[in-house]
Structure 1
C-alpha cells in the first residue's frame, strides 16, 4: 500500500511540476518570439504563471528580449521536480555531497533543454498538420510566431523540393534525434550516478 501511495505521489508531483515548467517555458518563448498575447492560449499561460513571474521580475531583471526571471522559474521548477523525485525514492539528500547537488542541477538543466526542444517539436508538427487541414485556425498565429524564427533560419540552407517546404520535416527529425541520442541518454546516465 505504501508503494502504491508513493508511486501515486510521484506521478502527481511529476505531472504538476512538468506542467508548471511547460507553462513557464511557453511564456518565455511567447515573449521571445513576440507571440500576440491577445490570443486565449497566451492569456491562459500568462494567468497560470503570473503568481510566480510577477514577484520574480521585481528581483530578477530582464536582458532585452530575454525574460530571465521566467526562464529561471522554469529551471527552479525542474530542479524541485528532480529533488522531490529523488527524495520520494529514498535518496539521502540531506547527507549528499556537493557533487550530488551539481548532478541534480545538471539534470534539471537538461530537463529544461529537453522540454524546450519538445515545445518546438510539437509546435512545428501541429503547425504542419494544421497547414493541410485548417490553416486559419485560431492557434495558427501562435504557432507561426513560435516556429518562424527556427524555420526561417533553416530555409536559408534547405531549398524547396518542388513546391514543398521540407524544413518542418527536417526540424522534427533533427529534434527527435537530439532528444533520443543526446539529451535523454545524458539525463539517464546522470541519474545512474546518483
Structure 2
C-alpha cells in the first residue's frame, strides 16, 4: 500500500513538472508571448534546471533542445524511482530501454498537451470568443503551429473552421502509434499505468 501511495505521489508530481517543462518547449516552439504571466511562471519554474543544461545543449532553429533533454531526464528518473518502489531496490534495467521509455512518454505527453489545448480552444471559441484572458491567449498561441497548416489546406467553409476535427484525427493517430510503440518497447508490461 505504501509503495502504491508513493508511486501515485511521484507520478502526479513528476507529470506536473514535466508538463511545465514541455510547456516551455512548446511556448518557445510557437514563439508565444514571453510577457504573458503564465509564460513568466513557466520560465521561473524551469530556469533552475534548464540554465545549467543550456550551457551543454544550445537551442537550434527555434527548438529548445535543453527543455526536451530535461523532460527526458525527468521521465527517466521517475521510471527509476517507480521501479525502485515496486522492486524494493534498484532493478537491472538497460539504459537504452529507459531512454526509449522516457522518449515515448514525453512524446505522448506532448500529444496530450496539444489534444487538450485544441479542445480548450474549441470550447472557448464557443463560450467566450475574443477573450483576452492570458491563459486563453497562450493556449491559442501554442496550438497555432499545429492548426495553421491544416487551416491552410482546408477549403473555406463560410466562416466555419473544421480544422480542429482534422487536428484531432491526426493527434489520435499519433497517440495510437505511440501506444503501440510503448507496448513494443515493453512499457505496458511493467504495469506503471503510464
**2:114 is aligned with 1:117:** no
Following the alignment from structure 2 to structure 1, what is the Cα–Cα distance between the partners of residues 165 and 138? 19
**2:120 is aligned with 1:126:** yes
Q: What's the TM-score once normalised by structure 2's chain length?
A: 0.87
Single out whichever of 121-130 and 62-71 deviates more from structure 2: 62-71
What is the aligned partner in structure 2 of residue 107 from structure 1?
A: 101
Change (3 A) 1:137 1:192: same
Q: How far does residue 103 in structure 1 lie from its aligned partner after superposition?
A: 1.7
Q: 1:185 aligns with which of 146, 157, 180?
A: 180
**2:38 is aligned with 1:41:** yes
Q: How far does residue 161 in structure 1 lie from its aligned partner after superposition?
A: 3.5
What is the aligned partner in structure 2 of residue 59 from structure 1?
A: 56
Single out whichever of 136-145 and 9-18 deviates more from structure 2: 136-145
Q: Is the 8 A contact 1:110 1:183 kept in 2?
A: yes
Following the alignment from structure 1 to structure 2, what is the Cα–Cα distance between the partners of residues 38 and 174? 31
Q: How far does residue 74 in structure 1 lie from its aligned partner after superposition?
A: 0.7
Q: How far does residue 107 in structure 1 lie from its aligned partner after superposition?
A: 0.9
Following the alignment from structure 1 to structure 2, what is the Cα–Cα distance between the partners of residues 78 and 26? 15
Single out whichever of 135-144 and 21-30 deviates more from structure 2: 135-144
Change (3 A) 1:114 1:165: same
Q: Which runs of 5+ in 2 are unaligned?
A: none
Q: Is the 8 A contact 2:25 2:64 kept in 1?
A: yes
Q: Is the 8 A contact 1:35 1:141 kept in 2?
A: no
Following the alignment from structure 1 to structure 2, what is the Cα–Cα distance between the partners of residues 77 and 131? 34
Q: How far does residue 63 in structure 1 lie from its aligned partner after superposition?
A: 1.4
Q: Which runs of 5+ in 1 are unaligned?
A: none
**2:170 is aligned with 1:174:** yes
C-alpha RMSD of matched pairs (Å): 1.9
**2:83 is aligned with 1:89:** no
